[in-house]
Structure 1
Amino acid sequence: MIDKLVRKNVKAMRPYTSARMLYQSGVFFDANENALGSAVALPGISELNRYPDPYSRELRKALGIFLNVSERNVFAGNGSDEIIDLLIRIFVNPGESVLVIEPTYGMYKVAAETAGAGVQSCSLNDNFQIDVQSVLNSTTPQTKIIFCCSPNNPTGNLLRAEDIKELCKRFKGIVVVDEAYIEFASKPSLAEKVADFENLVVLRTFSKIWGLAGIRVGYAIANEQVVQYLDKIKAPYNINRISSALAVKALAEKATVAEFKDIILQERGRMEKRFKEMGFAVFPSDANFLLVRYPTASTIAKKLADESALIIREFGSKKLLENCVRITVATPEQNDLLLAAIKKLI
């Protein structure tokens, strides 16, 4: 199935071969690096004067163990955004399209439009869940990828796993599930389901629960053929040596991440209660943020930014999100500051 979906030019092309694809060890005279060393150094990270492993093998191996999947089913990228872009370039020809289930993360549409692909959309239902038949009815023979996000950004809710699996069974293209917030959720990832559905691609990131948004590392769990095509067209050294090392180190910090999760979920519950007491409608969340609705939400967001330098995200112009704002769960002290400021404005 995968080969039939891939663009002909991508199948036919010869990938760029970088120096470190050929040799990982030895005395290097092949890549015009500075053999004298680096102008700066970081403790614990060596050979900054050398190009990194183009396949991030150590990171992929660590992710495979962490996820309980084969490392051959793991692709590491420069943030999930790179992987979104690569998937579109692999599968979507000029004149073809992707379908985005909205409201959701805006980069799916931006990446498709940047690549010259068409963008179709289908709304979640009133409960912010997938209407499988409505999604399938919105596709055309030119639709190559369906993008969805679970837990969904900006609504915060988990999409029903059965609905996603049904899409994988019935859609004759790629189904991408962005699980950036899955570590905060009450139900498990779909990562292991890539063994059951060759057209399923699950995206994950180090930006959220791991607290490493600044290193720009995301990853995909996918059919081995999909990973091979991602490797074929990616930039030669898409993850730098520092980011890769930090990501590997983070995977060993399970106790720290568990503590982060406990605090964030406790604060999420406390904030939900406080917002309801102030008269806000609060939508169920399986993420590290809350989507709330209030008649003057847009005005509140602007005043918080202008008068108190407290920044929340306004979504009132989006379908299904009238008078809604998204609020990240921060530290207890920061949350108290925000709640107090909002109370003064309502």
Structure 2
Amino acid sequence: MSFSLENLLRPHILGIKPYSSARDEYSGKEGVFLDANENPYGSLTGEPFNRYPDPYQLEIKEKLSFIKGVRPTQIFLGNGSDEAIDLLMRAFCIPGKDNIILLPPTYGMYEVSASINDIAVKKVNLTADFQLKPKEIIESVDSCTKIIFICSPNNPSGNKMKRQDIRSIIAGFNGLVVVDEAYIDFSDEPSFTNELNDFPNLLVMQTFSKAWGMANLRIGMAFASEEIIRILNLIKPPYNISGLTQQKVLESLEQANKIEELVQKVLNEKDHLSKALEKLPFISHIYPSNANFVLVKMSGAKKVYDHLINDLIIVRDRSKVVLCDDCLRISVGTEEENQKLIGELEKYVSQVL
């Protein structure tokens, strides 16, 4: 299939003149700054929060470029991955006309963002073991289909998708394919960032919220061709990532060599948690997981959920999600947290069953 970014874009986007911020006109760090109407005396905290941050996060992108094996100009940073999702729909989908394809069960924000932007949603459910149906997905494409979202490892099921299935969808679609890799650090699967040069219609999303432990800071990553990244930068708010967030991300990137150790701790706890869950009589299946959570099928999922809530142990009830009947999604906690969870589930066995 041939891919044309210009044909995919909403017609008016290429003619947009972006907001020119003070830091676009002068990006140096030294000087007397009298250009941005900032408070010259600083903030009440005593910290230097009075100056606007780098609008393009260039220092972070330089470091990420080395870690991820892509060019800095192939990186977009957003206020969480949710910002990239929203911007993609605003750039490529005409409200009330175009549609996107979702593959339930999947991350719920794709559909929420589509609803906000008045974008129609077409759905092709995954198989019973949460894998893609490439033929059905491509057959569901019409002339108004602009984006296909693939979450791998998937949320809420936790499994990775078959790589060749993803490739066949990208190759068979002349619109944009978004591969959401929020949980890639917990998987043994190589990132699709390695294939950006092979597929001009591919965009890969990752995040600092999971393995990097910075969910509170709200920073997501998108990797794509320079042309696609240029469009996202064209329509994003000028200062979408705060200076404080940029500072903390840079501090974390300086310690990138420690991330594998942190991930391994989570994976070890996931293994211990899964083995403990398997021993409980009301649990029928623990789905294979390449993420930092497990999807667990059980009898009376809602009763189990309510029992845990009463003891202030919070998991996600996914039992009303397609293909997830009687399932709870359980995030991997610390050893102490996981032991408390198992202890309460064992109480459930003795008190309720």
Q: Taking structure 2 as the reference length, what is the TM-score of the superposition?
A: 0.94
The equivalent residue for 1:196 is 198
Which residue of the partner structure matches residue 336 of structure 1? 339
- Structure 2 partner of 1:293: 297
Residue of structure 2 in register with 1:65 after alignment: 66
State the partner residue of 2:186. Answer: 184
1:31 paired with 2:36, answer yes
Instruction: Give the letter for the 1:286 counterpart.
Output: N
Alignment of 1:296-311 (within 5 A): 296-305=300-309, 307-311=310-314
List per-residue Cα deviations over 1:180-209 (Å, max 9, x = no partner): 100000211111211110110000100001
Within the candidate set 154, 157, 160, 1:155 is matched to 157
Deviations 1:82-116 (A, max 9, x none): 00000110000121011111101100000011011
- Aligned match of 2:245: 243
Give the whole-Å Cα distance in 2 for the aligned partners of 1:317 and 1:282.
17
Shift of residue 40, structure 1, vs aligned partner: 1.2
For 1:32 and 1:189, how far apart are their aligned partners in 2?
Answer: 42
Q: By how many angstroms is 1:270 displaced? A: 1.1
* Identity score, percent: 39
Once the two structures are TM-superposed, the CA of residue 219 in structure 1 deviates from its matched residue by 0.8
Aligned pairs for 1:18-97 within 5 A: 18-25=21-28, 26-42=31-47, 47-94=48-95, 95-97=97-99
Kindly tell me: are residues 335 and 96 of structure 1, through their superposed partners in 2, closer, same or farther at Cα, counting changes over 3 Å? Answer: same
Aligned pairs (5 A) from 1:199-210: 199-210=201-212
Letter of the 1:182 partner, please give it.
Answer: I
Cα separation, partners in 2 of 1:257 and 1:41, compared to 1, 3 Å: farther
Structure 2 equivalent of residue 167 of structure 1: 169
Quick check: 157-166 or 282-291, which moved more?
Answer: 157-166
Report which stretch shifted further, 162-171 or 256-265: 256-265
Cα distance in 1 for partners of 2:55, 2:257 equals 30
- Give 1:222's aligned amino acid: A
Q: Within 2, Cα distance between the matches of 1:342 and 1:140?
A: 48
Cα shift at 1:255? 4.1
Structure 2 letter corresponding to 1:300: V
Letter in 2 for 1:244: Q
**CA deviation after TM superposition for structure 1 residue 256, in Å:** 3.2
Alpha-carbon distance, 1:252 to partner: 2.3
Instruction: Name stretches of at least 5 consecutive residues in structure 1 with no aligned partner.
Output: none
- Superposition pairs for residues 240-279 of structure 1, below 5 Å? 240-279=242-281
Q: Which amino acid aligns with 1:136?
A: I
In the TM superposition, what is the alpha-carbon distance from 1:165 to its structure 2 partner? 1.1
Moved segments of 4+, more than 3 Å: none
Instruction: Tell me how many residue pairs correspond in the alignment.
Output: 341
1:161–1:190: 8 Å Cα contact kept in structure 2? no
Instruction: Please provide the CA RMSD for this pair.
Output: 1.1
TM-score by length of 1: 0.96
CA contact (8 A) 1:100 1:119 kept: yes
Q: 1:314, 1:301 → 2: CA distance?
A: 7
Q: Can you list the C-alpha shifts for 1:194-245, whole angstroms capped at 9, x where unaligned?
A: 1110110000100001110011111101011100000000001000111011
CA deviation vs aligned residue, 1:153-194 (integer Å, no higher than 9, x gap): 000000111111111100110000110100000211111211
Post-superposition shift, 1:140?
1.6
CA deviation profile, 1:317-341 (whole Å, cap 9, x unmatched): 1110000010000000100000110
Give the drift of 1:3.
Answer: 1.5
Aligned partners of 2:250 and 2:8: how far apart in 1?
Answer: 33
Paired residue type of 2:140? S
| 1:72-151 aligned within 5 A | 72-94=73-95, 95-151=97-153
Quote the residue 2:322 is aligned against.
Answer: 319
Gaps in structure 2 of 5+ consecutive residues:
none
